[in-house]
Amino acid sequence: MTLQQETIDFMLLYCQSLSKQVDLSFNLPFKVPLQRKIMEFSITKDFHNVRLDNFLRKNYREIPLTGIFRMIRKGKVKVNRKKKKQDYRLQEGDLVRVWDPSPPTAAKALLQLTDDEKNRINQTIVYENDRLIFCNKPAGLVMHSGSSHTHGLTELIQAHIQNRTFSFVHRIDKMTSGLVMGAKDPATARELSELIREQKIQKYYLVLVEGVLEKGKNHFSLNTFLKKEHDRVIEHPNEERGAKKASSEFSVLERGPKRTLLEARLHTGKTHQLRVQLANIRHPIVGDGKYGRQRKTKTMFLFSQRIVIPSLNIDFSLPVPELFYSALKKL
């Protein structure tokens, strides 16, 4: 018997053994290629126009971004049987195949809400339609789970509406209260995020600051360059060290004996933007324990008060909390 015939006979025996689930993996005269695992994803309208790398990051959160890029570059990810670059925009109906993948990240179970939590969430939701939810976030509640928080407002809303795909499209600090805007599906989230990037969504805040602004200064703008360094945001003179431009517009609403109530409109949305800008002109936000004069405080007087989306014919605002007026008039 020739070596070629011996090889053919062995392969026939190996194939038969697979159907009988017999293990012939010991003492093989040559390496037998194992069947490669393939994970398939059919792209729905929720992920239409999402970048390929972002789609993979969402489904394989344990793999670092460099690993995602390596998978794409080595051809372990194909779209409609063809290699694509990481910035390829997925289309509805595309078939994404991932070779030899780790299991996709399991979806977290939704929270089990108590009756008290359900009632509080009902009070938090101030506007809702088939695509959007606006919430009045209380101070002290984080936006989402993290290393020191098992859950935040995001997880509470997901559980309340029984929808894991719900997400907020902008965030406010833990100690900031007021309006936050969320989307019930990924397509709406991408649409709103794009409007934010194009500055086609207007966001207004109420801010109570220390000190009385001079009477002739009723409207002013601050254009600065900010960069996060460790646990603080620092203002820089320009963009040379990686700082990003931050732009805000302010109007004086009322002056008190020692404080001033401002309306602030954000033109950009950098971390701690209003807090740093106002502190650096020596009018820190009342109650700001990081950038202000008080190191221990329970209330920071920064309130997300109004959101305007002209393209969707939405202009929603909350009334001024009475606490702001009583703190303004304090001697």
Q: Which of 42, 43, 50 is nearest to 191 (CA)?
A: 50
- Residue 20 to residue 243: CA distance in whole angstroms: 64
User: Confidence class of residue 231 from pLDDT cuts 50, 70 and 90?
Assistant: confident
Q: Give residue 313's region: left, alpha or beta (phi > 0; psi -120 to 50).
A: left
Give residue-wise pLDDT tens across range 180-217: 999 999 889 989 999 998 999 999 999 999 999 998 88
> Among the listed ranges 36-45, 201-210, 263-272, which one has the minimum average pLDDT value?
36-45
Q: What is the pLDDT of residue 216?
A: 84
Q: Are residues 163 and 236 in the same domain?
A: no
Report the pLDDT averaged over residues 71-75: 92
Please indicate, yes or no, if residue 30 is contained in any of the structural domains: no
Q: Are residues 312 and 237 in the same domain?
A: yes
> What total number of domains does the chain contain?
3
pLDDT at residue 220 above 50?
A: yes
Q: What is the pLDDT of residue 223?
A: 96
DSSP structure class, residue 80: T
Q: Are residues 45 and 77 in the same domain?
A: yes
- CA atoms lying within 13 Å on the CB side of residue 312: 18
Predicted model pTM = 0.75
Q: What are phi and psi of 264, to 5 degrees?
A: -120, 135
Kindly state the tokens that stand for 166.
């719900």
Q: What is the pLDDT of residue 236?
A: 93
Of the three residues 103, 131, 162, the one that is the final residue of a domain is 103
Give the largest Cα separation in the chain, rounded: 105
Active site residues: 173
Q: Are residues 162 and 278 in the same domain?
A: no
Please give the C-alpha separations between residue 328 and each of 64, 137, 214, in angstroms, as whole numbers.
48, 22, 16
Q: What is the pLDDT of residue 36?
A: 60
pLDDT at residue 11 above 90?
A: no
Q: Are residues 204 and 327 in the same domain?
A: yes
Q: Which residues contact 97 (CB under 8 A, 6 or more apart)?
A: 38, 39, 40, 41, 77, 78, 79, 81
Which comes out higher in pLDDT, residue 108 or 289? 289
Burial of 37 (C-beta count, 10 Å sphere; 0-12/13-18/19+): exposed
Please indicate, yes or no, if residue 73 is contained in any of the structural domains: yes
Report the pLDDT averaged over residues 141-150: 80
Averaged pLDDT of the chain: 86
Please indicate, yes or no, if residue 97 is contained in any of the structural domains: yes
Q: Are residues 225 and 326 in the same domain?
A: yes
Which comes out higher in pLDDT, residue 317 or 99? 317
Please indicate, yes or no, if residue 16 is contained in any of the structural domains: no
Is 78 within 8 Å of 84 (Cβ atoms)? yes
Q: What is the pLDDT of residue 5?
A: 52
* Residue 254's CATH number: 3.30.2350.10
Please indicate, yes or no, if residue 18 is contained in any of the structural domains: no
pLDDT at residue 34 above 50?
A: no
Of the three residues 103, 130, 150, the one that is the final residue of a domain is 103
* Residue 45's CATH number: 3.10.290.10
Is 54 within 8 Å of 117 (Cβ atoms)? no
Please indicate, yes or no, if residue 167 is contained in any of the structural domains: yes
User: Confidence class of residue 37 from pLDDT cuts 50, 70 and 90?
Assistant: confident
Report the pLDDT averaged over residues 314-320: 94
User: Confidence class of residue 13 from pLDDT cuts 50, 70 and 90?
Assistant: very low
Q: Which of 156, 270, 282 is nearest to 224 (CA)?
A: 270
The pairing of strands 132-137 and 177-183 is antiparallel
Q: Give residue 21's region: left, alpha or beta (phi > 0; psi -120 to 50).
A: left
Q: Which domain holds residue 324?
A: 200-331
pLDDT at residue 30 above 50?
A: no
- Residue 152 to residue 141: CA distance in whole angstroms: 7
